[in-house]
Amino acid sequence: MSILTFVSNVLSIGIPFSVALLLAALGEMFNQRAGIFNLGCEGIMAMGAFLGFIPAYFLQNSPLAGYANLLGVLAAGGAGILLGLLFALATVTFKAPQGIAGIGLQMLGWGTAGTLFRHFVGGVTGIPGLPSLPIPGLSKIPVLGPMLFSMNAMAYLAFLFVPVSYYLLFKTPWGLKIRAVGTYPRAADTMGINVTKTRYQALAMGGLLAGLAGAYLSLGQAKMFADDIVAGRGFIAVALVYFGRWHPAWILGGSLLFSIAQSFQLAIQVMGIKFPYEFAVMLPYVLVIVVLALTRSSAVRGPAELGKAYDREKRI
């Protein structure tokens, strides 16, 4: 196998791998920009994956089969929003410690999805999943075509959402409010911004994206559902937000880096190169830790009030 085919194999598997991470991390970016740290991302993804899978599973042989994927995506996004709002209720309204509430949400999502799956489905079953949509013309470009322009609709939309979320965050009044309540909620409050409402909105957005990320896993990537389908990607997404300094472009970079590293690891295993399997699996995670340790923390750019509840009548 030539180097070129090896690289193109690694990339054409790695790039689609990054979609779920990218969506979840962009969602977490909105949460954190508003000052809320949502460790429950993993749980929302599990629910999203399950709800994305269910219509496709039940409607497989019915006349409605054509709508199953759309239905699954909508259900996953809707459930994501609801879980995001539930998290907002706990952390913004009731001011529960965000780390603990996040672990709770992770358990809730993961447990519910697994239980429902065992009750209604039982064993691992494949579904047709999202068809790939080669872009006419572009997908015929040698090497690059199959790598970049033969993915499914959700993947294209996810990459498109990178500039969109940049625009939302930096060029719209909504984004301005999100950044303000995450950096200096008291100042935002004195300027008439509703801190609570803005944080609810950010968490709804974060939930939506995490739900969609889950749906991508079951519908677009694995084309099935299993209990452990999310496999820690929700936590990696949280790490990627720090890695990406709360900026969509860097988060895209981080998601790509991580998933390409993972695909590289798979590729060398397939090639049978003698390398302990466990180390190969660890590799991408080690990469994120190393990069996180090396990037300097920047107080100027990040949300300074991350993780803290806001209380108007409290001084500290």
Partner 1 sequence: MAGKLQKIRSLEVDGITKRFPGVLACDSISLKVGENEVLALVGENGAGKTTLMNILMGLYQPDEGSIRINGQEVRFKTPNDAYAAGIGMVHQHFMLVPNMTVAENVALGAPDFHRFMRLDLAGARKRIQEISEKFSLPVQPDAYIWQLSVGEQQRVELVKTLCFGARFLILDEPTSALTPQETDELIVLLKRMSAEMSIVFISHKLAEVTAVSNKVAILRHGRVVFSGSTSEQTPASLAALMTGHEVNLPVNNCCEECGEEFFSVRNVRAKSDRGFYALDGIDFSIHKGEILGLAGVSGNGQRELAEVIAGLRSVESGSIGMPGFELTNKSPREIINSGLGYIPEDRNTEGIVPSFSIKENLVLKDFASDEFSAGPFLNLKKQEANAEKLKESFDIRCPSVATAAGSLSGGNIQKVILARELARNPKVLVAVYPTRGLDMGAEEFIHKSLLEMRARGTAILLISEELDEIMNLADRVAVIYKGKILKILPSHQATRRSLGLLMAGITENAPGAER
Ligand X SMILES: Nc1ncnc2c1ncn2[C@@H]1O[C@H](COP(=O)(O)OP(=O)(O)OP(=O)(O)O)[C@@H](O)[C@H]1O
Residues lying near partner 1 in the complex (CB under 8 A): 171-173, 175-177, 179-180, 183-184, 186-194, 300-301, 304, 312-313, 315-316
CB of 304 to partner 1, least distance (A): 8
Query: Choosing among ligand X, partner 1, none, which partner's interface includes residue 192 (Cβ < 5 to 8 Å by kind)?
Result: partner 1
Q: For residue 154, what are the CA distances in angstroms to 33, 69, 150, 219, 252?
A: 24, 11, 12, 10, 15
CB of 213 to partner 1, least distance (A): 24
CB of 299 to partner 1, least distance (A): 9
Nearer to ligand X, 278 or 313 (CB): 313
Query: Choosing among ligand X, partner 1, none, which partner's interface includes residue 197 (Cβ < 5 to 8 Å by kind)?
Result: none
CB of 186 to ligand X, least distance (A): 11
Residue 190 engages ligand X in binding (rule: CB under 6 A): no
CB of 310 to ligand X, least distance (A): 13
Nearer to partner 1, 61 or 298 (CB): 298
Nearer to ligand X, 6 or 184 (CB): 184
Nearer to ligand X, 3 or 316 (CB): 316
SS3 for the chain, per residue?
CCHHHHHHHHHHHHHHHHHHHHHHHHHHHHHHHCCCCCCCHHHHHHHHHHHHHHHHHHCCCCHHHHHHHHHHHHHHHHHHHHHHHHHHHHHHHCCCCHHHHHHHHHHHHHHHHHHHHHHHCCCCCECCCCCECCCCCHHHCCCHHHHHCCCEHHHHHHHHHHHHHHHHHHHCHHHHHHHHHHHCHHHHHHCCCCHHHHHHHHHHHHHHHHHHHHHHHHHHHHCECCCCCCCCHHHHHHHHHHHCCCCHHHHHHHHHHHHHHHHHHHHHHHCCCCCCHHHHHHHHHHHHHHHHHHCCCCCCCCCCCCCCCCCCCCCC
Query: Choosing among partner 1, ligand X, none, which partner's interface includes residue 271 (Cβ < 5 to 8 Å by kind)?
Result: none
Residue 191: CB atoms within 10 A of its CB come to 10
Nearer to partner 1, 223 or 245 (CB): 245
CB of 243 to partner 1, least distance (A): 19
Q: Looking at beta carbons, which residue is closest to ligand X? A: 315
Q: For residue 172, what are the CA distances in angstroms to 164, 178, 250?
A: 11, 10, 20
Number of residues in contact with ligand X, rule: CB under 6 A? 3
Query: Choosing among partner 1, ligand X, none, which partner's interface includes residue 180 (Cβ < 5 to 8 Å by kind)?
Result: partner 1
Nearer to ligand X, 195 or 203 (CB): 195
What residues numbered 256-315 form the site for ligand X, per CB under 6 A? 313-315
Nearer to ligand X, 191 or 311 (CB): 311
CB of 314 to ligand X, least distance (A): 6
Burial environment of residue 129 by CB neighbours within 10 A (0 to 12, 13 to 18, 19 or more): buried
Nearer to partner 1, 62 or 194 (CB): 194
CB of 313 to ligand X, least distance (A): 5
Query: Choosing among partner 1, ligand X, none, which partner's interface includes residue 233 (Cβ < 5 to 8 Å by kind)?
Result: none
Spatial separation of the C-alpha atoms in residues 194 and 174, rounded to whole Å: 11
Task: Catalog residues that contact ligand X under the rule CB under 6 A.
Answer: 313-315
